[in-house]
Amino acid sequence: MLSVNGQVIEDALLDAEFSEIKAFYERQGNVSCCERNDEFQGYAKDNIISRVLLTADAVERMPEPTPDEIREAIERAKAEHGGEEAFYSHLGIAPGEEDVLLPEIVGGLKLDRLIAELTAEVPEPTDEDIQAYHQAHLSEYTRPAQVRASHIFKSLERVERREEILDELRGVRLEALGGTDFHELARIHSDKPEDEVDLGFFKRGELMDEFEIIVFSMETGEISPVFATPFGLHMAKVTERREAAPIPLEECREAVIEAWKQEQRQEHVKSHIAGLREKAVIKDDTPAPEGHSHL
């Protein structure tokens, strides 16, 4: 059992936090299976302990929100859920039963006020601060690689014509490899209009993954084999490439300043939480969730 100043933390809450953290790292490609479960369980406990301490401090120290602030918070929550119907459905309550949410809403408003108070004194960064942050986070201020490609597409709505269409595109590819203008071949053979032959520049994540994997593996001037996606058969020619490159500071200065300030705000909050933890009574004898290794 995990408890913070006598408040028992439900196992379900720990499991949910653990799953969210692990899913985040899996999306980043930084984890497979269970080799970092111990680490993620530690993160989950730290996150929950921090939230409990910070929320309790806010509830105790911050003034009560006004009725108007509470009403505005409820309206914001409805908008965030996609409207009143989705809001009530998600929370399992009926219109007029919003009072059951008051403790959570009041706690959230007080927490927001506490964080605003803790982060109010963040200074403006110096030029040295800005330059150092930019250099330390260059990977975040880098233009991704881009490819420009032209494209021939054939629909496979009539499945029985698949082999016929494949043979047609094989012939078109041989013409392209022999020097016939690709754009002219696309104008004649593609099922897309002429103004969609040139796809312009695009980066990874903007088009179908099956298409991007082929095109981003090609060199400038190269013509792809015929390949399939769920939409049909394709052939592409890479016409230009732009390699990944750092964004000069003068082009991203405002974004760097805001990121620096956000980091400073987070440090102020972390420092406050560290002070709360020093005075807190935290007991932890929780077993690892089923299927997870122990801390």
Residue 162 confidence class, pLDDT cut points 50, 70, 90: confident
Average pLDDT over residues 114-132: 95
Specify the pLDDT at position 295.
35
Average pLDDT over residues 166-179: 95
| Residue 55 covered by a domain | yes
Q: Is the pLDDT at 153 greater than 50, yes or no?
A: yes
Please check whether residues 77 and 183 belong to one and the same domain.
no
Tell me the CATH number at 180. Answer: 3.10.50.40
Average pLDDT over residues 113-126: 94
Read off the pLDDT of residues 265-283 as tens digits, 9 standing for 90 and up: 999 999 999 999 999 999 9
- Buried b / exposed e over 123-137, threshold 16 CB at 10 Å, is eebeeebbeebbeee
Please check whether residues 233 and 277 belong to one and the same domain.
no
Residue 160 confidence class, pLDDT cut points 50, 70, 90: confident
Read off the pLDDT of residues 58-85 as tens digits, 9 standing for 90 and up: 999 999 999 999 999 999 999 999 999 9
Please check whether residues 194 and 226 belong to one and the same domain.
yes
Q: Which two tokens stand for residue 138?
A: 């260059």
**Nearest residue to 220 (alpha-carbon basis) of 139, 144, 145:** 145
Query: How many folded domains does the chain comprise?
Result: 2
| Residue 295 covered by a domain | no
Please check whether residues 271 and 194 belong to one and the same domain.
no
Please check whether residues 32 and 106 belong to one and the same domain.
yes
| Residue 277 covered by a domain | yes
| Residue 251 covered by a domain | no
| Residue 134 covered by a domain | no
Contact 111/54 with Cβ under 8 angstroms? yes
Average pLDDT over residues 237-256: 96
Q: Domain span at residue 27?
A: 2-123+258-284
| Residue 44 covered by a domain | yes
Tell me the CATH number at 118. Answer: 1.10.4030
| Residue 129 covered by a domain | no
Strands 282-284, 232-242: pairing is: unpaired
Phi, psi of 209 (to 5 degrees): -60, -40
Contact 58/113 with Cβ under 8 angstroms? yes
Residue 292 confidence class, pLDDT cut points 50, 70, 90: very low
